[in-house]
Amino acid sequence: MIMSKRRKDMCRIVTPVVTAFDKNEKPDYEANKKIIDFLIEGGVDGILVLGSSGEFTGMSKEEKYNFFRFYADYTAGRTKLYAGTGSMNFGETKELSNAAIEMGYAGAMVIGPYYYGLDQEKIFSYYDTLAKAVKGDLFIYNFPARSGHSIEPATVKKLLENNENIRGLKDSVSEPGHTNRICQAAKGYKFEVYSGFDDQYLSNLSSGGVGCIGALSNLAPELWSELVRATRERNFEKTAELSKLIHDLMPLYDVDSNFAYLFKRLMKHRGLEIPDRAIFPFDQMEKEAYKKAEALFDQVMDEYKAMSAVTMR
């Protein structure tokens, strides 16, 4: 089937990649190479480096810069890259955003300042000032559960009216209606809206979004990429079946506040030879909680394998 570029562009899975750390909580570059190859071979459409799943809060500015450089060099154009450059320090965010863009990243994805509350006027001021200081594309990362604030559609529209280089938004919200309102406010602009939660992929597309930046794709990139392919090909039955498997995996997010630790353990369980360390103090989990998570993951992946076997007959 020949697929139009428009249909391919409107259905994507970008992986907010986990970071493999060594015993000193520094990036383990050899292990991270294995993660990169696993995701690219799994068929994801892009990788977000140092998003929430990447545990960026535990890294210094220099470590982030070096890690961005490593990703750009090792991927060498094999997939599209986005840089998570959000920081409590505006100067650091600006510097890292420009550095990543110079390295060839498709854009900088920035969560707003957290800890102190932001009203809509301050949110506008922050992203407007940043957009004018960044020499490339900027993506807004809206994650109210972690940042303490949520950008409103009117603020998005105002930002787009004043900045051509604000090119998209990741909307990690519990209410899909918010994403729909963002899409409506951004109509007529070159602006990509992604769901930040895996189970909102289809509702995101129906609202006019382009797909998902979902962390479950760390665990099963082949499942996620097959779902995207089925969507592009308008195979509705297969899309529904694969989407249900994604929904079935969603409880994994609730096992621990730092789900990246669990996800690395499950990737290791799949056979990926990586350390499963996480930043302190999020490097511990009750044994029983992990066993339940592993059992759920295995059950869903067994269902996926059975589904794939039937398709191949």
Question: In angstroms, rounded to a whole number, what is the distance separating the alpha carbons of residues 232 and 209?
Answer: 14
Which whole number is the average pLDDT over 198-217?
98
Is 0.85 topped by the overall pTM?
yes
Which whole number is the average pLDDT over 162-182?
97
| pLDDT tens digits, one per residue of 107-123 | 999 999 988 889 999 99
DSSP annotation of 26 reads S
Query: What are the extents of the domains in the chain?
Result: 5-238
CATH classification of 5-238 is 3.20.20.70, yes or no? Answer: yes
pLDDT for residue 5 is more than 80: no
Which whole number is the average pLDDT over 236-248?
97
Q: How many CA atoms lie within 13 A of 149 on its CB side?
A: 20
Which whole number is the average pLDDT over 142-164?
96
Which whole number is the average pLDDT over 171-179?
96
Residue 81 bridge partners (DSSP):
47
What pLDDT is attached to residue 3? 47
> Which of 59-63, 154-158, 282-286, 295-299 is predicted with the least confidence, judged by mean pLDDT?
282-286
Q: How far is CA 262 from the centre of its chain?
A: 16
Which whole number is the average pLDDT over 127-154?
97
Residue in the block written with tokens 């529904």: 240
pLDDT for residue 270 is more than 90: yes
Give the catalytic positions in this structure: 141, 170
Reported confidence tier of residue 257, pLDDT bands at 50, 70, 90: confident
Residue 194 bridge partners (DSSP):
170, 211
Which whole number is the average pLDDT over 293-304?
98
Q: How far is CA 142 from the centre of its chain?
A: 12
